[in-house]
């Protein structure tokens, strides 16, 4: 089967894979955001932190930032907010007070146990339009794309992001 022209030679932003994935996340992810904010009083970033800690308690903030794919400032803000909401605790490491292990409180674990099945339901419904073979193929494809993206990032020589400088117009003017 030949590659559809839309994929092989994107001609508009609507044809670009990353934009299409972003639109999918924006559309389907909005349901998760509404659940988080409307029913559970947390943000999507806070949900990401909770879900990761439910699986791997005791992570350091820096480890959590890497796994959550958030910068340290956003991770720190989410952690501070979750501590304030009594969903997360910081446990200072003996011998090094600068480092703290992170763990869910009982309330944090209960929130995870209540929200995760709802997220899974959205996930199942989203995938329901695909056959079992299509889901398996998509899973393998996503793994391959993730590995390729990580390889590209590792070898890329791009300037560090600096949003304070403004866009191209600002620099050229």
The pLDDT of residue 38 is 95
The pLDDT of residue 169 is 55
How far the first Cα of the chain sits from its last, in Å, is 49
The whole-angstrom separation of Cα 154 and Cα 29 is: 28
Contact call for residues 64 and 49 (beta carbons, < 8 A): yes
The pLDDT of residue 43 is 95
Host H or E run for residue 131:
none
The two three-digit tokens of residue 139, written as one number: 């899973």
The pLDDT of residue 57 is 85
| CB-based contacts of 93, cutoff 8 Å, min separation 6 | 99, 100, 101
The pLDDT of residue 164 is 73
Q: How many CB atoms lie under 10 A from the CB of residue 59?
A: 19
Angle at 131 between CA 126 and CA 135, to 5 degrees: 65
Burial class (CB in 10 A: 0-12, 13-18, 19+), 128: exposed
pTM over 0.75: yes
The pLDDT of residue 172 is 57
The pLDDT of residue 167 is 60
The two three-digit tokens of residue 110, written as one number: 């209960």
Tens of pLDDT, residue by residue over 74-98, are 898 999 999 999 999 988 777 766 6
Instruction: For the chain, count helices (H), then strands (E).
Output: 8, 2
Residue 38: which of 98, 118, 108 has the closest Cα?
118
Structural class in CATH, domain 5-156: mainly alpha
The whole-angstrom separation of Cα 52 and Cα 143 is: 19
Domain boundaries of the chain, sorted by first residue: 5-156
The low-confidence residues of the chain, meaning pLDDT below 50, are none
The whole-angstrom separation of Cα 45 and Cα 68 is: 8
């Amino acid at each position: 089967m030949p590659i559809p022209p839309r994929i092989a030679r994107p001609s508009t932003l609507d044809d670009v894979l990353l934009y299409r994935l972003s639109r999918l996340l924006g559309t389907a992810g909005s349901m998760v955001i509404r659940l988080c904010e409307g029913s559970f009083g947390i943000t999507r970033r806070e949900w990401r932190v909770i879900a990761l800690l439910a699986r791997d308690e005791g992570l350091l903030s820096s480890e959590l930032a890497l796994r959550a794919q958030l910068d340290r400032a956003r991770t720190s803000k989410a952690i501070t907010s979750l501590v304030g909401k009594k969903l997360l605790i910081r446990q200072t490491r003996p011998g090094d007070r600068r480092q703290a292990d992170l763990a869910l409180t009982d309330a944090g674990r209960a929130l995870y146990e209540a929200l995760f099945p709802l997220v899974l339901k959205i996930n199942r419904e989203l995938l329901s339009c695909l056959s079992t073979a299509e889901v398996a193929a998509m899973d393998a494809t996503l793994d391959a794309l993730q590995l390729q993206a990580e390889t590209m990032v590792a070898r890329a020589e791009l300037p560090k992001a600096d949003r304070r400088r403004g866009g191209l117009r600002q620099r050229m003017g």
